[in-house]
Amino acid sequence: MVSSERWIDFQAGPFIEDWGFTEHDSTIIVKSRGRHGPSMIHRFSLETGKLLDSTKGSDPYKDTPDWAKPFADDRP
C-alpha cells in the first residue's frame, strides 16, 4: 500500500516506460528512466511494497537477470 509519506515528485522524471505483474501476480516489475540516459528495472513485492531487486535496463542481455529480461533495452 502507498502511504502519503512515500509520495515522490516525478516532475523531472523518472518516467515509467513499461511495467508488468510477475510470479503469479505477487510482484510487479517497473521499468523507468529519466528524460535521458539508461533505464532502470525494479522488482517490488505487491504484499509489502518492498524493493526486491533492481538492475540497469541497458546492461547486456546475457548479463540481465531472468526476471528482468522481458523489460531489457537490449532484447534480441
How much is the pLDDT for 8? Answer: 58
Place of cell 525494479: 42
Report pLDDT for 50: 93
Q: What's the confidence (pLDDT) of residue 38?
A: 85
For the chain, the domains span: 13-71
- What pLDDT, on a 0 to 100 scale, did the predictor assign at position 75? 82
**Mean pLDDT, 10 residues at a time, the chain of 76 residues:** 56 78 93 86 94 92 94 88
Nearest alpha-carbon partner for 18 in 63, 70, 55, 53: 70
pLDDT, residue 35, reads: 78
